[in-house]
Amino acid sequence: MSEAHLKPVLVSACLLGQACRYDGRDSLRTILVERLTAEGFRPVPFCPEEAGGLGTPRPAAWIERGDAQQVLDGHAAVVTHAGDECTDAFRSGADQALELCREESIERAYLKEGSPSCGVCQTHVDGERVDGPGVTAAHLARSGIEVHGVD
Ligand code: SF4
């Protein structure tokens, strides 16, 4: 099957080996790449934090006193560990992720667990890893994209 016929799925770029994590490293999951390819999917890499304009490496960030839904609705913020606000960058990254899904007719995403952007079942709030999605995962899920967390 040519690549053009493979069904595209959005994948956190760090899971595909891109060194886009806040600490300048990747989170390559070779097994995920092999599984998606074997199942006929075409992984489309995307890093919402880089797309939102944050450089790599960058300070670690978390949702402050709230959750991702509240960030999306303008009722909570995302801050770095130094207290600098980066909410707009996180919301822009989430918007761009959804835009890419719509452009490429992507219906499913595989996202890195624990991230304040990509976490699906767990994210970071006030410096702690807690249950709940990150900003991009929440935005995609509430827009009808099927999201899967990868640890
Ligand atoms: S924002 Fe998502 S894709 Fe980018 S480094 Fe963090 S977990 Fe990976």
pLDDT tens figures, 90-135: 999 999 999 999 999 999 999 999 999 999 999 999 999 999 999 9
Nearest residue (CA) to ligand 1, atom 5: 21
CA of 27 to the centre of ligand 1 (A): 9
Q: Which of 11, 46, 63, 118 to mutate to test the pocket of ligand 1 (most atoms within 8 A of CB)?
A: 118
Is-cis flag, bond preceding 133, omega within 30? no
Domain boundaries, the chain: 3-111+126-150
Give this prediction's pTM. Answer: 0.97
Q: Binning pLDDT at 50, 70 and 90, where does residue 4 land?
A: low
The answer for residues whose C-beta is within 8 angstroms of residue 114's C-beta and 6 or more apart is: 122, 123, 124, 129, 151
From the CA of 15, give the closest atom in ligand 1. 8
Query: CB of 67 closer than 6 A to ligand 1?
Result: no
